[in-house]
Amino acid sequence: MKKFFLGFAVVSLLIAGVLSYFASSDPDGLDKTAQDTGMAAHAQQHPLAGSTFADYSLGGDSRFTGLAGVLGVLAVLGLSFGLFWLLRKKTPSTDTAD
Amino acid sequence: MHMSDGLLNAPVSVAFLVIAAAAVGFALVKARADLDDRTAPMAGLVATFIFAVQMINFPILPGASGHLLGGALAAILVGPYVGALCVTIVLVVQCLLFADGGLTALGANVTNMALIGTATGFVVAVALRKLAERGKGGLAAVAFISAFVNTLLAATGFVVEYAIGGAGGVEIGKVALLMWGMHALIGIGEGLITAVTVTSVASIRPDLVFLLRGSRKPLEVRS
């Protein structure tokens, strides 16, 4: 059981940390629609556009996309694991030591 | 499919923030029943996996790409309520940590990808559950179809939101045609990723696939 969860986490880390370098940098379907129709002219810059990891980079340097990806994986893992662990039903059949 | 701020006008953006907050609150209440010591870690990993895979934009046309949304994937593996929360967490982290997806647009983005995507993916998957229970091929087909539908309907969410309060006055037929055309292609990618992921999990830990668990509910034995 532990092995499966560990494997799942490692796969996510590899995708975000390594495979992310091979992702297409073309606009996605919605952004392309916005560009082609001209509605993109109304798009506003993100209030946090200047933040450290904006656009999956490190200070705007996209060579660090993998690092940003790993950080994101850890952030999502921490947040979601924490939330779901707190929300879970505590079943009487399982005695957790923690 | 993360829209920036400004594509929707302020009242519509705020309205969808309220709608999304209410729906996520409802999901938080309902999710409890689907979370236990075994499924809570799984749900955390599903959210994490969706974040990672969303980084991988794949080309669909010259000059255009797409990425996984993850609604059907999450719904099939951890159920609709927990699944909606998984995608919501991903969108919040992307917005706040990576400036991906507008801040005032967060409500509309959550509505499209986390709520509409997960709900429609789940409805389709449940409707086809008999096929999914037939074996690996059936499960792959169900995962593909529900993911394809979740992509198209999440795209439709944006079309509707733009029709209600979009900036720039672009003819809605044009928006719909471009969104549906491109998301039909993205939906194929979403379907393939979802099918591979769900069948991989099912072949190792079928007990962790929410969709397959439902059928065994009447036989559930408490130890």
φ/ψ region of B56 (left if φ > 0, alpha if ψ in -120 to 50, else beta) reads beta
Domain of residue A63: give its range: 52-88
For residue range B111-146, list pLDDT tens digits in order.
999 999 999 999 999 999 999 999 999 999 999 999
CB contact under 8 A, A39 and B57: no
Burial of B207 (C-beta count, 10 Å sphere; 0-12/13-18/19+): middle
pLDDT at B214: 61
Give the three-state DSSP class for B69.
coil
On whether any CB of chain B is under 8 Å from the CB of A19, the answer is yes
The answer to the question of residue A77 being in a domain is: yes
The crossing angle, in degrees rounded to 10, of helices A29-37 and B172-204 is 170
Number of domains in chain B: 1
Question: Which of A22, A37, A80 comes nearest B43 by C-beta?
Answer: A80
CB contact under 8 A, A30 and B179: yes
Are B30 and B84 in contact by the 8 Å Cβ rule? The answer is no
A–B: how many Cβ contacts below 8 A? 227
> How many Å apart are CA B58 and CA B36, to the nearest integer?
35
Question: Which of B2, B5, B41 comes nearest A44 by C-beta?
Answer: B5
Q: Identify the CATH number of the domain in which residue B16 sits.
A: 1.10.1760.20
For residue range A63-83, list pLDDT tens digits in order.
999 999 999 999 999 999 999
The answer to the question of residue B222 being in a domain is: no
Would you give per-residue pLDDT tens digits along chain B (223 residues)? 999 999 999 999 999 999 999 999 999 999 999 999 999 999 999 999 999 999 999 999 999 999 999 999 999 999 999 999 999 999 999 999 999 999 999 999 999 999 999 999 999 999 999 999 999 999 999 999 999 999 999 999 999 999 999 999 999 999 999 999 999 999 999 999 999 999 999 999 999 999 998 655 444 444 4
Would you give per-residue pLDDT tens digits along chain A (98 residues)? 689 999 999 999 999 999 999 999 999 999 999 999 999 999 999 999 999 999 999 999 999 999 999 999 999 999 999 999 999 998 655 444 44
- Give me the residues of A, 44-83, that contact B with CB < 8 A: 44-49, 51, 53-56, 65, 68-69, 71-73, 75-77, 79-81, 83
Who's near B211: CB < 8 A, 6+ residues apart? B75, B76, B77, B125, B126, B129, B132, B139, B142
Give the three-state DSSP class for B209.
coil
Are B97 and B43 in contact by the 8 Å Cβ rule? The answer is no
CB contact under 8 A, A26 and B64: yes
Number of domains in chain A: 1
The answer to the question of residue A78 being in a domain is: yes
Question: Which of B6, B65, B175 comes nearest A24 by C-beta?
Answer: B65
pLDDT at B221: 44
The candidate with the shortest Cα–Cα distance to B131, out of B113, B117, B144, B115, is B144
Helices in B99-171 by DSSP H: which ranges?
Answer: 106-109, 117-127, 129-132, 136-165
Alpha-carbon torsion (A20, A26, A32, A38), positive or negative: positive
> How many Å apart are CA A12 and CA A21, to the nearest integer?
14
pLDDT at B219: 42
Give the three-state DSSP class for B63.
coil
Give the three-state DSSP class for B99.
coil
pLDDT at A2: 84
- Residue B97 is inside which H or E element, if any? helix B80-98
The answer to the question of residue B139 being in a domain is: yes
The answer to the question of residue B218 being in a domain is: no
- Chain B residues touching residue A40 (CB < 8 angstroms): 4, 7
CA distances from B157 to A10, B114, B151 (A): 33, 11, 10
Give the three-state DSSP class for B166.
strand
DSSP B26-57: HHHHHHGGG--TTHHHHHHHHHHHHHHHHT--
- Chain A residues touching residue B85 (CB < 8 angstroms): 80, 83-84
pLDDT at A57: 95
- Chain B residues touching residue A91 (CB < 8 angstroms): 36-37
CA distances from B204 to B35, B44, B200, B208, B212 (A): 20, 18, 7, 9, 13
Domain of residue B21: give its range: 10-210
The answer to the question of residue A57 being in a domain is: yes
- Give me the residues of B, 133-162, that contact A with CB < 8 A: 155, 158, 162
Paired with B64 in beta bridges are B61
pLDDT at B135: 93
| ipTM of this complex | 0.92
Structure tokens at B115: 């709520």
